[in-house]
Amino acid sequence: MKKLVFLFLIVNFFFGCGDSKLKPQISLEEGTGKIPDQETWGSEIIVTEDGVLKAIVYSDHISVMSEEKEKLLDGVKILFYNDEGVQSSSLTSKKGRVDDLTQDMYAIDSVVAVSDSGVTLYTDELIWKSKTNKIVSDKFVKIVSDQEQIEGYGFESNQDLNPYTIYNITYYTNLNEKN
């Protein structure tokens, strides 16, 4: 009986050492084939210029992609500040991207920007240019304020949404005339 058990163990050992082992599958992020170098959840990024607070970026999830020199964000909220350090506007979006070379921030999917003056901007994509503190988009935008509602393609403004320019207006209504 001992010889039979010993023979069984030796046979299992040799068959277990074969090259036909199963390899686990690795799930790559969003099918891009790239795995983040770092990840963080519930983050806060403070953006300053010469020691002056310019923005605070909150994100539910950040993936740092060092090779691509970018950060990918999910669940984005940004608070913008004027030169006096007072909050002047806010922005929310489902996704975002920060270019590490330019520090430009791309807000993507269900973007809503609200200024302290009551102007609200809706679009699918918006870019905040870090060096100029301008926000721009070449996508469809809708702006609603107490005075007007404007829709069109192509947009540029300072981060306070005042003044703003829509380049190809497709709809306009003066809300003061309706009242």
Quickly tell me which residue has 């503190």 as its tokens: 133
170-172-173 Cα angle (round to 5): 155
| Length of the chain in terms of residues written | 179
State residue 167's pLDDT score.
93
Region 19-46 average pLDDT:
71
Burial of 128 (0-12, 13-18, 19+ CB in 10 A): buried
Residue 45 has pLDDT above 80, yes or no: yes
The domains of the chain, with CATH numbers, are 36-178 (2.60.450.10)
Give 1 or 41, the one with higher predicted confidence: 41
The three-state secondary structure class of 21 is: coil
State residue 47's pLDDT score.
81
State residue 80's pLDDT score.
86
State residue 175's pLDDT score.
81
Q: Where does 82-163 show beta strands of DSSP type E?
A: 87-99, 105-115, 120-129, 134-144, 148-158
CA end-to-end span of the chain: 99
**What whole-number distance in Å separates Cα of residue 56 and Cα of residue 43?**
10
pLDDT in tens, 52-110: 888 898 999 999 999 999 999 999 999 988 888 889 899 999 999 999 999 898 999 99
Burial of 61 (0-12, 13-18, 19+ CB in 10 A): middle
State residue 19's pLDDT score.
53
State residue 153's pLDDT score.
96
State residue 42's pLDDT score.
94
Residue 17 has pLDDT above 90, yes or no: no
Query: Is the distance from CB of 104 to CB of 129 less than 8 angstroms?
Result: yes
State residue 121's pLDDT score.
95
